[in-house]
Structure 1
């Protein structure tokens, strides 16, 4: 088993702040040695069961012959991208407000349940 690496030498940047879903995708591009590093770090620090399960499962896949996928584990996560803040909706792109249609008024009367056709 690998020794406890320092936070700055981990194969995934910002590892401690990755959500589980992002971690599952990013570990696919790592080698068995890199996954072992993360597993050792996780076990000596937070030791979160769902994270250790993901890392252990990926390590077993790699040891069984799986190959790391292409991709950059150091790529910026979408939520960290610069320049895309706030909502793209503006007053010019918003729909006109509308009210719910009236029900049971003289010009639009409701039908009793027995009169409905299927």
Structure 2
């Protein structure tokens, strides 16, 4: 098992999961196995072990490591905020008409078998 300084990802212990996901794509199967063994022996974070296991399976199934900068850091944070609904008043449907008398199972006329007192 590798020590932290010998891992193929610099500052591995301080990487957010979002950055780790993009950076493991540049690793070989042997390097992913090394990082996975280190993770299981130390923090054993379930999302990280699942990510590394999935990438290792991809590599063993024939996937190739992608070129990329293993030193690149992707900021961890919220995604792009929604700018609102893509539906405009011109494309929105008409509101449903209200029921004639209260709830959908209670129509405007009383049942014939009821007696009014």
Aligned-residue offset at 1:74: 2.6
Tell me, yes or no, if structure 1 residue 53 matches structure 2 residue 62.
Answer: no
8 Å Cα contact 2:19/2:74 also seen in 1: no
Instruction: State the distance in 2 between where 1:59 and 1:38 align.
Output: 10
1:27-106 equivalence runs, <5 A: 27-75=24-72, 77=73
1:24-67 residue CA offsets vs partner (Å, 9 max, x unmatched): 00000000000000000000000000000000000000000000
Q: Point out where structure 2 has 5 or more consecutive residues left out of the alignment.
A: 76-117
Q: Name which one, 1 or 2, has greater alpha-carbon Rg.
A: 2
Provide the aligned length of Structure 1 versus Structure 2.
75
Aligned-residue offset at 1:72: 1.7
With over 3 angstroms needed to count, the CA separation of the structure-2 counterparts of 1:26 and 1:78, relative to structure 1, is closer
With over 3 angstroms needed to count, the CA separation of the structure-2 counterparts of 1:78 and 1:5, relative to structure 1, is same
TM-score norm. by structure 2 comes to 0.61
- CA RMSD for the aligned pairs? 1.2
> Quick check: which one's helix share is greater?
1
Aligned-residue offset at 1:78: 6.0
With over 3 angstroms needed to count, the CA separation of the structure-2 counterparts of 1:65 and 1:47, relative to structure 1, is same
